Chain A
Amino acid sequence: MSFEPRSIINGKLLREFMGKNVSVMVKIEGDYTGQIIKAKTTDQVPVRISLSEPIGGNPTDWVEVIGVVSGADMLRAKEVIMFEESNQEFDSESHNMLVNIMNNTRDFYATG
């Protein structure tokens, strides 16, 4: 499997990345056994994620969804990354800020 470049975004930015590869941190809300799961992004936008196959196992609250944006509130997931159970809280506010800064700063990775 080759690496596909993707952008780390949040709910608000979904519409700007229509059809593109993205990575979104979401908090799963409610049922996670079906083909489509509901979740909320770090900026509190509700999104629906369609899965090619149901998530195996018991996902943690927060998961990283890698996939393609298929609508203003839709994601077609290629991969759902679950995190180890830990008592460390996910700092969603800071993550959201990171997304904002990364997507609003020109030459974010420029050095020197």
Chain B
Amino acid sequence: MKADVKPKPVIAGQGVDAGEVLLAVQNVSLSFGGVRAIRNVSFDIRKGEIRAIIGPNGAGKTSMLNVINGFYHPQEGVITYKGRQRSAMRPHIAASQGIARTFQNVALFKGMSTLDNIMTGRTLKMRRGLLAHALHFGPAKREEIRHRAAVEHIIDFLEIAHIRKAPVGKLPYGLQKRVELGRALAMEPELLLLDEPMAGMNLEEKQDMSRFILTVRDAFNTTIALIEHDMGVVMDLSDRVVVLDYGQKIADGTPAEVQGNQAVIDAYLGVAH
């Protein structure tokens, strides 16, 4: 008797064209003990778009990002990335496949400088071995210099040259958020996940951050999924919005469609039961 032959993955698509589905989440459910954080959610992210995930506190937005970059493994459902179905995946593998992210509560390496923090984003791109780096000779040295150049470019773009050498733990919150974005950009990701990139920022800082996000998408052709509470920002930036509430998807569409959706209005304003 022949053993079951597993179907081969459909198109191991390396290059996904603009407008095509880059990542699809199908019927994903995630629970922690008795708490059902995500219930049967499906949506997709298309190449080159800015996709917002919104919803009231505790709706499961951050859990969704954690599922996408491999911190959490959903009990049910399928995730398809670049045309390939993905099984439970470790975060560093997701990173090596081009998924970068920032965190809600800024997760930087506090003791290191801005420069070193962003350099860690190049980890996967560095090829030379341990010994070569230790001896700092020829190819390893050239490699270090090449990656430094890429990092300096990012530092200039994010306008943080003045804090290049400062330990990031000492920086104000808004700048830390920028450094964290820089570290994610250093990975040259295809899919960038931003968890509340503007939380705790003043108006001016929010405008700067919005400008950076739009430029990243337009100049580097990076697909972006972001969680944000500031509705003004969400409506201005995003191409499509998915709305979660109590772990379920209650709406999905353009900002205008979502804004007029009764379920969304109920979720945000509360409804008499």
Binding between chains A and B:
no
